[in-house]
Amino acid sequence: MSSLSRIHLATAMFITLAIPMRLLGQNVQPTELRRATVIGTATDANGDPVPNATIELKSSDSNDRRTLVTAENGFFEFHDVKPGVSYQISVNANDFADWTSSTITLEPGQFKIATGIKLRIRPGAHGGPGHLRSGTGRD
């Protein structure tokens, strides 16, 4: 066998043994949990969107508290929500009674659509029961 063939053989054997050993020796970090997303729409009892409602996503066991205001269509969206943590959604809007969800816990990568956010007119609020509207003869 020529010396050039021996060098090629030695190189091939080195590569064959070195690469798998290098891969086995790597420290594999656990995959980071993929964050979740929560979306929803604040509506009134008639199903109409409630614009400018304050939405709060609050965790029960940490200081993760996020607040945003709904768009004209009542839509809201929270990104990068930590999975495996219990959260509640609270909604507050002018002339409406406050609304709070039951506790939710998200899975890694989950896309949660919060449903059933129907706000009720607060008694005595402008336009609500017990309020006298001008122009109706009951000012």
Residue 53: which CATH number?
A: 2.60.40.1120
Is residue 131 domain-resident? no
**d(C-alpha 81, C-alpha 56), whole Å:** 13
DSSP state of 138: -
pLDDT value for 124: 81
Is residue 99 domain-resident? yes
Kindly tell me if the per-residue pLDDT of 110 is higher than 70.
yes
Segment 70-79 shows an average pLDDT of: 97
Is residue 130 domain-resident? no
Is residue 27 domain-resident? no
Is residue 20 domain-resident? no
Segment 82-89 shows an average pLDDT of: 94
Q: In b/e form, how buried is each residue of 47-63, taking b as 16+ CB within 10 angstroms?
A: eeebeebbbbbbbeeee
Is residue 93 domain-resident? yes
Q: Which residue has the higher pLDDT, 15 or 46?
A: 46
Segment 61-65 shows an average pLDDT of: 83
Segment 107-134 shows an average pLDDT of: 78
pTM: 0.67
Is residue 53 domain-resident? yes
Number of domains in the chain: 1
Do 69 and 92 contact (CB within 8 A), yes or no? Answer: no
Burial of 69 (0-12, 13-18, 19+ CB in 10 A): exposed
Question: Which residues span the domain enclosing 59?
Answer: 36-119
Is residue 128 domain-resident? no
**d(C-alpha 31, C-alpha 108), whole Å:** 11
